[in-house]
Chain A
Amino acid sequence: MVNQGKSGSTGLSRALWLGWVVIAALFVVEVVEYIVGVAMDSGSLWFMVLLAVPGAGLIAWYFMHVKQLWSDDHADAEPAEHGHGGLGMNRLGLWVFIISETFLFSALLSSRYFLRGVERPDDLNQLLGLGISVVLLLSSLTAFRAEAAAEYGDQARFKRNMLFTLGLGLVFLVGVGVEWSEAFAHFPPDSAFGTIFFTMTGVHAFHVVTGMLVLAVVYNMGRDGRYGPGNYWGVEGGVKYWHFVDLAWVLIYPTLYLVS
């Protein structure tokens, strides 16, 4: 099944505007978390959950379009043609994968609380943590814009935003690298907190790297106009995965840096 092609600049500009609103809300969430956790030094777990979960929800609802799962062709409906589940099938497959991955990240989060409770060392570079979080959120915005551009057939904007996203991903990785080199001095990997810190950031960074590889492939395949209205599943799939990596960080960031 091919989804309905959309056109017209109003649709695109509305989508882009929505992206800014969502990212603004996410920034507010991160900054409030940061102020409460660091500046006021009262990072209660429940408060962080209260903020981080709606933050993750914003990404899932507006960026990852989770409602497509039950709004586009239903499981009980007949597939478009024999042997082809089409777009709905691809979307479901990706979501099943994403749900699978959430279990990996839940295992990570529960290990942190199981082993270290809400312990937070003073040596964490809090500003750097906030900085890379903002960078990763921004990369979700550019990824969202790239997808919208592909959906409405704006090829130049698509390519530009894909490159922005890859660039921001790289900045994030450099940030993690700086963080690691500092962390080695304060809490090396064989220390109690270091074990958790390096594993959580490492597993997440691994997902960032794979996400960048996927986006690079999508960019390469789409750089001469392969994707357009009604045919942009490649972009949508890659970008959804990227949003998921961001969503995971929205939960990991307060868990590692802010709760105390």
Chain B
Amino acid sequence: MAALSAFKAIGRGLLGAAIGLAIGWGLALLLGAAIPADDATIRKPQVIIAVGYLFALIGWLLGVGLWSGWAREWLRLPTMELTETDWRRYFRFSLDHKVIGLQYLVTFVVLMLLAGVLALVVRVELATPGEDILGADGFNTVMGLHGIMMIAVAVATITGGLANYLVPLMIGAEDVAFPRVNALSYWIVPPVAILLILTPFFGGFDTGWTAYPPLSVVNANGQLLFLLAFLTFGLSSIFGGLNFTTTILKLRAPGMTLMRMPIFVWSVLGASLIAVTATQFVAFGLLMVILDRVVGTSFFDASKGGDPLLYEHIFWFYSHPAVYVMILPGFGIELEVISHFSRKPLFGYKYVVGSILAIVFLSMIVWAHHLFTSGMQDFLLIPFMATTEVISIPTGVIFLAALATMWRGRLRLTTAMLFAIGVVFNFLIGGVTGIFLADVPTDIHLQENYFTVAHFHYTIMGGEIFMIMAGLYYWFPKITGRMFSETLGKLHFVTMFVFFQLTFLPMFWVGMQGMNRRVADYNVEFGDLNQIISIMSYLLGASFIFMVINMVRAWFGGERAVGNPWGARTLEWQTTSPPPVENFDAPPEVTGDPYGYGTPEAPAHSSPATGTVGN
């Protein structure tokens, strides 16, 4: 019975969603009557989906905890606070940032593995020329689902999961600024997942994750589900960014000046600033497509004065900065791990902070490099080429800071450190190949082929996902209170690193030779290489088995972790593993630099401190 009671909140949420769906459906039928008969057959189902979903979403949120924990206050009723402290709180509308962080982490690591399986399905289709198992439409949907799910994973695993768990700890706060908004931002995510899973039953969507009109206005209803899911996810991202910005600026412990913050906190601040601003643009872009489909406006219908280019501008105004929402906190993890395991102060801390802020700004003015082949005005080409080149300067500063921190350090090659070092190699390739995509003449050839796919995966998978792995292994003892097996961890790193190279390096080659991306079929001459790529990708997928075994085993039976197993100086390690509900037994006081390794006279970062000072 106790086990069953854990799912009461989710049950109430589902009930709320069902009631909401019914209300929305009814309303949609009334609204649908007003649609002119000539396009009613196409638009009526879409009105039902859109309005039904909107009400189902509200019903779900009210049922799952918004009503009992928040909205009752608006009607002057007493709110019901969650009191459980056992495992059941992980299935409830908990306000504890550590619970929410773990909810995010587990959800998105599972989602990552699922989306990884989809990538393998894509590779099965691409193993030989011709349309094999999926067919053109099936391929498009599977590829699009892989894309959007991984985008969500890349955005939310750090900013939702790790940041949620760690930022309050690292700045010495008890919780985030707005715990209820925080819980809301997590519980918005399950409907997103459900919508995406349902898309194949509504005809799938064949636009890829970018959803360019005019195709996205006229294709199957699965596209509408995709648009609604993306829009909802954006909302979650905005709430998260709002929370972290405020938390970091207002809830730091006494003595934690801005320039004493661990670099991970800075990087999350940077990502949050992008998330709260640019995300509104993609929300509006998606809204325009939804309106074109459901209401019948003509944003993108050129015959009625619309212009599909508008969508591309608006979409990339968000979606380019979005890669910095992914990679900036990744850089933060990278530098944390490298500094702590090199036993050296972070090189050029101030310059790294400046670079993060520079990237936040520059990321907003580079978007049109995604449009070099779109037919936009020619005079825009050179300015956007220039800004894109310029953004490599702050990125390079961060990259050099990582190298210089390791230089002559006492490297401890733990699993986390290995992943961080792997990033240095991968990101170098990702960064250098990016230059060819930033330059207009080469981009015109490379834009639509596998060179771009390889570049993207070298930066986001070889970069950010490796960084996430570094972070997961680094903070695993803190979060679970258990130690994992370093041997299995290192096996995971070696296999993942090697097969990652073997999967994606050949893609640069087939791309330059002209193999188109986003297509199920290709020229027979690329058959051999693609077969190799596919086999390597299966092995890359298999490398994650080490991670799953390692983490599951450690979590349920691993050796207990002490408070500070790595001897790190930052605040999150100066408390028990896992931390108590209020994070610290006594409010911490910050007295020094977070990275004073190797200098015996450096003051401790905080008091009380358990970390080894010096080296």
What is A's interface to B at a CB cutoff of 8 Å?
75-76, 78-79, 82-83, 85, 88-89, 92-93, 96-97, 99-101, 103-104, 107-108, 111, 114-116, 189-192, 194-195, 198-199, 203, 217, 220-221
Contact = CB atoms under 8 A, between A and B. Distances in A.
Contacts of B314: 107, 111
A114 B74 CA distance: 41
Contact of B238 (A83, A100, A220): A100
B278 A194 contact: no
A189 B257 CA distance: 53
Contacts of A114: 307, 310, 313
Contacts of B277: 99-100, 103
A217 B74 contact: yes
A82 B297 contact: no
A14 B266 CA distance: 42
B246 A89 contact: yes
Contacts of B410: none
Contact of A93 (B173, B246, B299): B246
11 contacts: A75-B258, A76-B258, A79-B250, A92-B245, A96-B242, A107-B285, A114-B307, A116-B305, A190-B298, A192-B306, A195-B299
Nearest to A105: B280
B557 interface: no
A104 B305 contact: no
B306 A78 contact: no
A83 B280 contact: no
Given A93-B177, A93-B178, A108-B284, A115 B299 contact: yes
Interface in B290-307: 291, 295-299, 301, 304-307
Given A103-B277, A217-B74, A83 B246 contact: no
A101 B75 contact: no
Contacts of B276: 96-97, 99-100
A79 B75 CA distance: 31
B284 A104 contact: yes
A83 B310 contact: no
A220 B76 contact: yes
A83 B349 CA distance: 27
Contacts of B241: 96, 100
Contact of A220 (B75, B254, B310): B75
Contacts of B296: 189-190
A216 to B, nearest CB: 9
Contacts of B96: none
Interface residues of B, number: 51
Contacts of B288: 111, 199
B238 A85 contact: no
Interface string B582-594: 1000010000000
Contacts of B587: 82
Most buried by B among A93, A108, A221: A93
Interface string B240-270: 0111011001111110011000000000000
A245 B397 CA distance: 41
Nearest to B588: A82
B283 interface: yes
Contact of B251 (A85, A191, A203): A85
Given A93-B178, A116-B305, A189-B295, 8 more contacts: A85-B251, A89-B251, A100-B241, A104-B281, A111-B288, A111-B314, A190-B296, A195-B304
Given A82-B253, A83-B173, A192 B242 contact: no
B175 interface: yes
Contact of B306 (A99, A101, A195): A195
Contact of A104 (B74, B280, B307): B280
A83 B169 CA distance: 11
A97 B246 CA distance: 10
A103 B242 CA distance: 14
Most buried by B among A76, A103, A220: A103
A85 B76 CA distance: 24
Contacts of A111: 284, 288, 299, 310, 314
B278 A191 contact: no
A93 B296 CA distance: 36
A103 B304 CA distance: 27
Contacts of A78: 254
Contact of B242 (A97, A108, A189, A198): A97
Contacts of A104: 280-281, 283-284
Contacts of B313: 114
B174 interface: yes
Nearest to A95: B246
A61 B295 CA distance: 38
A191 B305 contact: yes
A197 to B, nearest CB: 10
A185 to B, nearest CB: 14
A36 B287 CA distance: 34
A115 B305 contact: yes
Nearest to A116: B305
Closest 9 A/B residue pairs (Cβ): A192-B305, A83-B174, A85-B250, A103-B280, A107-B284, A104-B280, A89-B250, A195-B297, A82-B587
A123 to B, nearest CB: 16
Contacts of A203: 287
B280 A115 contact: no
Contacts of A108: 284
A219 B174 CA distance: 31
A101 B238 CA distance: 10
Given A75-B249, A75-B250, A78-B254, A191 B242 contact: no
A247 to B, nearest CB: 16
Nearest to A73: B250
Contact of A100 (B76, B249, B258, B280): B280
A217 B74 CA distance: 6
Contacts of A194: 297
